[in-house]
């Protein structure tokens, strides 16, 4: 497990809706071209949950990450170590 940084754009999205009980995508937008992609990433990784009809709620994982801007990361495929370096072929 590792602690990774969210990055400023995703962290700001979390901070904008931290006190809201329910919110829409428009409520947490930063006004950048990657907002929709960052919002989808936050949904897929469990920071937000979809409530229905375009409304969303922040999860406990999202609240914890909004404080410092870091989150706990666990690889999806456990047991696979770090990739090994490729050996060079002799010409």
Could you tell me if residue 84 is inside a domain? no
pLDDT in tens, 76-89: 765 555 555 566 77
Could you tell me if residue 89 is inside a domain? no
Could you tell me if residue 66 is inside a domain? yes
Q: How far apart are CA 10 and CA 8, in angstroms?
A: 6
The total of structural domains in the chain comes to 1
- The pTM (predicted TM-score) of the whole model is 0.73
- In this structure, what CATH number is given to the domain that contains residue 50? 1.10.10.10
| Statement: residue 45 has pLDDT above 70 | yes
* Structural domain boundaries enclosing 41: 2-71
Could you tell me if residue 88 is inside a domain? no
Could you tell me if residue 82 is inside a domain? no
pLDDT in tens, 55-81: 999 999 899 888 878 877 777 765 555
Residue-wise DSSP of the chain: -EEEE--HHHHHHHHHTSS-SSB-HHHH--SSTTHHHHHHHHHHTTSEEEEETTEEEE-HHHHHHHHHSEEEE--SSTT--PPPPPPPPP-
17 within 8 A of 47, measured Cβ to Cβ: no
């Amino acid at each position: 497990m590792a602690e990774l940084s969210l990055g400023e754009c995703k962290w700001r999205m979390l901070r904008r809706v931290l006190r809201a009980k329910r919110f829409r995508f428009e409520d947490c937008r930063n006004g950048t071209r990657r907002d929709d992609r960052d919002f989808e990433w936050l949904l897929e990784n469990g920071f937000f949950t979809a409530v229905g009809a375009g409304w969303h709620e922040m999860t406990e994982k999202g609240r914890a990450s909004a404080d410092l801007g870091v989150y706990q990361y666990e690889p999806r495929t456990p047991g696979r170590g770090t990739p090994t370096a490729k050996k060079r072929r002799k010409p």
